[in-house]
Amino acid sequence: MILFEVEDLQGEKRTIEIPEGINLNLMEVLKASDYPIAATCGGLALCATCHLEVVKGFDELPAFTEPELDMIDTLPNATSTSRLACQIKLSEQLNGASFKLMESNEG
Amino acid sequence: MITTDICIIGAGPVGLFAVFEAGLLKMRCHLIDSLPIIGGQLSEIYPKKPIYDIPGFPSILAYELVDNLKKQIETFSPTFTLGERVEELQKLEDGTFLLTTSDKTQVACKVVVIAAGLGCFEPRRPDLPGIVNYESKGVLYMIKDPETFRDKKIVIAGGGDSALDWSIFLSSVAAKVTLVHRNESFRGAPDSAEKVFELSKEGKIDLLLSSNLTAIKGVDRIESITITDKGKKTVEIPTDHLIPLFGLSPKLGPIAEWGLNLDKNAIEVNTFDYSTNIPGIFAIGDINTYPGKLKLILCGFHEGALMAQSAFRFVYPTQKVSFKYTTVNGVNAF
Ligand SMILES: Cc1cc2nc3c(=O)[nH]c(=O)nc-3n(C[C@H](O)[C@H](O)[C@H](O)COP(=O)(O)OP(=O)(O)OC[C@H]3O[C@@H](n4cnc5c(N)ncnc54)[C@H](O)[C@@H]3O)c2cc1C
Ligand code: FES
């Protein structure tokens, strides 16, 4: 099992539990867990509606993708631990991590 | 005042193709889009990505599809108002409509087709307390006329291509250009980044890297901006303008105020003809919702074709629409 924590825009925290070996990215998992992520670009790092701040476990996460760095660079509310959920493949590296959804400027 | 049969709000792929379907039934269209270019999401978000599910095109780049749609509808001479947002939609007593844009352009029409996608593309706002109070008082998110900045002090924020390009361009127009970027380097076009560093060495651009905007001040309009770097050192820079350039993202905007039935930011429609709860107003493409809705270009094209059949009744109330193939009837330009 992979366990990580997610804090929504209202500040509510929830632990998410996902079996290992599932070929999904974090954006897809969050959407399936009913978080209000528009995912307008479908996971191409082009819309930033899946923008999150990593509160814990930043260094353990899979590396940034190039399009992800390009997109984050243009966001006004990016922080030093910003990531795009769609660019993070689900793996054991997420175990124990904690994420906070960011205001995505959407809708 | 512009007068037309159908006014289409949104010049994305679905709004564009609706011109064709309307044209086959001899209805003229005027399109309005808040973006300065046509193509909606395809032009703004993914112009160079290949699309694989447009029938008849095993693969086509998004911008090519927009170019092709433009060519396809040329025969029906659509007219455009670009770079303006539709703010008001009024239904007049005779059943026709009057639309008013952000720049007060007015369009009178018999039918309104809302093809507004995910909403208006609007600039991303920096997290700067009170910034809204200075919008139109020195804070600008879009540069329409560079001459506005002649001999003025300006601060540009952002690290993308548009921040770089405008900093370079305005360095020879404005009295002083300060470019603020949160990182140490730029990921935009290397040529532009190099030029910015050169201009900075020559003293033509003040470059503040690893820095963020943290406060905005001024009585009647913006007077200064405070910038904080990674080491928490702050500087207050007197300025006439702040130009944040952080790209665009779509927002539903004024459509929510028009009395249409909405479900989570989408307009509810009848799938018979994609009509809304207000007679004479249709909604097609990403902006509408109905059971089974898929946000696909292909689906939006289909919705446009069905919409046109019903729109005909509003434009030519005394005539009957007769269905003809383009292969039989051809495409009769007007
Ligand atoms: C990265 C990405 C990849 C995609 N890939 C595919 C794919 O492979 N296949 C596919 O079928 N679809 C794909 N899509 C979805 C597709 O782009 C949309 O379905 C399509 O753009 C919808 O077209 P539209 O004309 O309805 O709206 P849009 O393209 O969103 O255009 C709407 C326009 O309306 C304007 N507007 C809104 N409100 C107003 C107003 N009040 N005043 C003035 N203008 C206004 C907006 O500025 C915008 O330009 C993809 C989308 C993204 C982001
Ligand atoms: S889903 Fe669009 S950037 Fe992640």
Q: What is the mean pLDDT of residues A62-74?
A: 93
User: Among partner residues A41, A69, A75, which is closest to B246 by beta-carbon distance?
Assistant: A75
Q: Is B334 inside any structural domain? A: no
Q: What is the mean pLDDT of residues B3-9?
A: 98
Q: Give the residue on A whose Cα is nearest the Cα of B122.
A: A105
DSSP state string for B197-230: HHHHHTTSEEEE-SEEEEEEE-SSS--EEEEEET
Report pLDDT for B271. 98
Q: Is B207 inside any structural domain? A: yes
Q: Encoding tokens for residue B117?
A: 């996608």
CA A96 to ligand 2 centroid distance, Å: 23
Do B6 and B99 fall within a single domain?
A: yes
The domain defined by A2-101 folds into Ubiquitin-like (UB roll) (3.10.20)
The answer to whether the complex's ipTM is over 0.90 is: no
Report pLDDT for A103. 81
Query: Where does a domain end: B223, B246, B269?
Result: B246
Do B27 and B115 fall within a single domain?
A: yes
B257 has pLDDT over 90:
yes
pLDDT one-digit tens code per residue, B212-246: 999 999 999 999 999 999 999 999 999 999 999 99
pTM: 0.91
How far separated are the first and last CA of chain A, in Å rounded? 34
Query: Where does a domain end: B195, B221, B246?
Result: B246
Q: Is B36 inside any structural domain? A: yes
Of A58 and A21, the structure prediction assigns the larger pLDDT to A58
Do B261 and B242 fall within a single domain?
A: no
pLDDT one-digit tens code per residue, B27-75: 999 999 999 999 999 999 999 999 999 999 999 999 999 999 999 999 9
Q: Mean pLDDT for chain A?
A: 92
Interface of B with A in 206-265 (CB under 8 A): 244, 246-247, 249-252, 265
Do B61 and B153 fall within a single domain?
A: no
Q: What is the CATH number of the domain that holds B224?
A: 3.50.50.60
Domain around B292? 2-122+249-329
pLDDT one-digit tens code per residue, A23-41: 999 999 999 999 999 999 9
Q: Is B86 inside any structural domain? A: yes
Report pLDDT for B144. 83
Ligand nearest to the CA of B284: 1
Q: Which of A71, A74, A81 to mutate to test the interface with B (most CBs of B within 10 A)?
A: A74
- What are the residue ranges spanned by the domains of chain A? 2-101
Q: Is B291 inside any structural domain? A: yes
Query: Where does a domain end: B209, B229, B246?
Result: B246
Domain count, chain B: 2
DSSP H helical ranges for B56-203: 62-73, 161-170, 190-201
The residue to which tokens 């059949």 are assigned: B309
Chain A contact for B187 (CB, 8 A cutoff): yes
Do B211 and B305 fall within a single domain?
A: no
A104 has pLDDT over 90:
no
pLDDT one-digit tens code per residue, B128-165: 999 999 998 999 998 888 999 999 999 999 998 899 99
Q: Encoding tokens for residue A57?
A: 């476990």
